[in-house]
Amino acid sequence: MEWWGQAISMAASIALAPLLVGLSQTTKARIQGRMGPSVFQAYRILWKTWHKETTVPQDSSWIFRLAPSVNVATMLVIVTMLPWTGKLPSSWPHNALVLFFLLAVERFWSALAGMDSAGAFGGLGASRVSTVGSGIEPALLAAFGVLWAVSGHTAIAPLAPWLRHQALGILPWILAASSYVLVLLAETGRLPVDNPDTHLELTMMHEATVLEYNGRFLAEQQMAGALKFTALIGLGWIYLGPVMSSVWANLFMRVGELAVTSMALGWAESRFVKLRYFQLPTYFAMATGVGLLAFYLVASGSVS
C-alpha cells in the first residue's frame, strides 16, 4: 500500500509539476488584466525546447553540459523523498536535513554552470544565486526549528502524526508558516527576491545562470525549476498542513493544496515589487528571526 501510494504520488508530482508553474503564470496574467497563456503552456514550452537544437558556448566544459542533468536528478530525488501520502515505506529516506543539502547541490551546480559559461551574465547569476543561497540555508533550518524542538526527529514523516496528536499552538504555527513562506519565495526564485519572468541584467538571478542554455539542456533546467516549485510547496504542506488517515485522501488533498498554493503564489507575486538586492540580507534575517521566535516559544513552553 505504502509503496503504491508513494509511487503514484511521485509520478503525479513529476507529471503535474509543469502544470503548477502554468497555473501560477496564468493566475498572474489574469490578475494583471491579461488573458495569459493556457495553463498547459509550460508543457508545450518544455516539448518545444527539448526538440530544438542544443548548443553550448565556446570555452565551456563538461560542467556546463552536466549541470542540467545534476539539477534535474537532484530535484527528482527530493520529490521522491517527500512523504506525499503521509505514509512511507519503512527504510525510505525522508530526512529534512538531507533535503536541505540536496537543495544546496542544485544551487552549487547552477552557480558552477553560470561560471562555466564564461560570460558576464553567468557569473552575475552565479554570484547572486550563491549569495541568496547563503541566506536561505539558515532560514530554512530556522523555519524547521519547531520541528526539532518538539518531535526530536529530523525525518519528515513522523512529524505529521505528531501534528495530529499534539497541538503546536496557533502562534508558533503561524510564525513557522510565515518563516517557511518567506524561504519558499526565495528558494523558488519568486518575487520579492527574484523575478522568474525577467531578462533584465539588473534584476535576474536564477535566470542569468541558465541564460546560455538552450534546447534539451534548457528543458532540463526548466523541468528542474518546476520540480523544485512543486517539492517546496509540497514540503510546506506536509510540514505544517493537516493529515488524513487514508493514503488516497492524502494524495488528493495534496494535489488540491498544490494547485491552490501555486495560484496563491501567482496572486501574491502580482502584489509585491522586487526588493533591492542589498536589502535581501534583511529579508533573510527576518525569515530566520521569525523561525527562531517560533522555536523559542515552543522551547520555553510559553505556548503549549
Partner 1 sequence: MLVMGLLLSGLMIMVLAWYEQGARIAYIAWSVALVVVALLGLCDPTLSWLQGSQWALTPLRSWFLFLLGVVALAASIYTLGYRLHHPLWSAFWTPLFLVSMVGVLTAQNLWGFMTAWEIMALSSFFLVISHPERPGVVKAGYVYLVMSQVSAMLIVLGLLLMAYHVQSGEFAMWAIKAHELSAPEKNVIFGLLTAGFAIKSGVAPFHIWLPRAHPAAPAPVSSLMSGVMIKVAVFGIIQFAIMDLGPTNGAWPMVLFVIGALSSLLGVLYALMEREFKKFLAYSSMENMGIIFMALGIMAAGLDWHRPSLEVIGGVGALLHALNHALFKSQLFLIAGGVEQHTGRLTMDQLGGLIHTLPGIGLSFVMGAMAISGLPPFNGFVSEWLVLRGMLLMTLQSPVLVRVTALTLALILGLIAALAGMAFVKAVGVMFLGQARQPLPYTSLPRTMGAPVLVLGVISLLLGIFPGPVIAFIARRLLATRASSGALLVPVHVIVVASMLLLGIGIAAITSRVWDAPEVPRWGGGRQTTSAMQFSAASFTKAIRTTFAVIYRPHRHLARLGPYREDFPERIVYQGGTTPTWERYLYRPVSQAIWRIAQYSTRVQAGPVRLYLTYLLVTIGVLLLTLR
**Contacts of partner 1 in 194-213 (CB under 8 A):** 212
Tell me: does residue 242 bind partner 1 (CB under 8 A): no
Binding-residue pattern over the window 105 to 134 for partner 1, x denoting contact by CB under 8 A: x-xx--xx-xxxxxxx-xxx-xxx-xx-xx
Of 19, 39, 81, 183, the one binding partner 1 by CB under 8 A: 81
Q: Which CB sits closer to partner 1, 39 or 139?
A: 139
Tell me: does residue 73 bind partner 1 (CB under 8 A): yes
Alpha-carbon span 252 to 242, nearest angstrom: 13
Tell me: does residue 14 bind partner 1 (CB under 8 A): no
Tell me the C-alpha to C-alpha distance, in Å, between residue 51 and each of 65, 189, 215, 219. Answer: 17, 26, 7, 9
Alpha-carbon span 129 to 66, nearest angstrom: 18
Tell me: does residue 169 bind partner 1 (CB under 8 A): no
Grid cell in block for residue 15: 507529471
Tell me the C-alpha to C-alpha distance, in Å, between residue 184 and each of 136, 178, 234, 265, 302. Answer: 9, 10, 11, 10, 27
Segment 211-240, which members bind partner 1 (CB under 8 A)? 212, 215-217, 219-220
Of 38, 93, 197, 245, the one binding partner 1 by CB under 8 A: 93
Of 58, 202, 273, 276, the one binding partner 1 by CB under 8 A: 58
Name the DSSP letter for residue 154.
-
The one segment of 101-109, 168-176, 254-262, 266-274 that binds partner 1 by CB under 8 A = 101-109
Of 88, 141, 231, 287, the one binding partner 1 by CB under 8 A: 141
* Contact in structure between 109 and 70 (CB atoms under 8 Å): yes
Quickly count: other Cβ atoms within 10 Å of residue 155's Cβ: 18
Under DSSP, is residue 95 helix (H, G, I), strand (E, B) or coil?
Answer: strand
Q: How many residues touch partner 1 (CB under 8 A)?
A: 84
Residue 263 C-beta: closest distance to partner 1, Å? 30
Q: Which CB sits closer to partner 1, 12 or 149?
A: 149
* Contact in structure between 116 and 137 (CB atoms under 8 Å): no
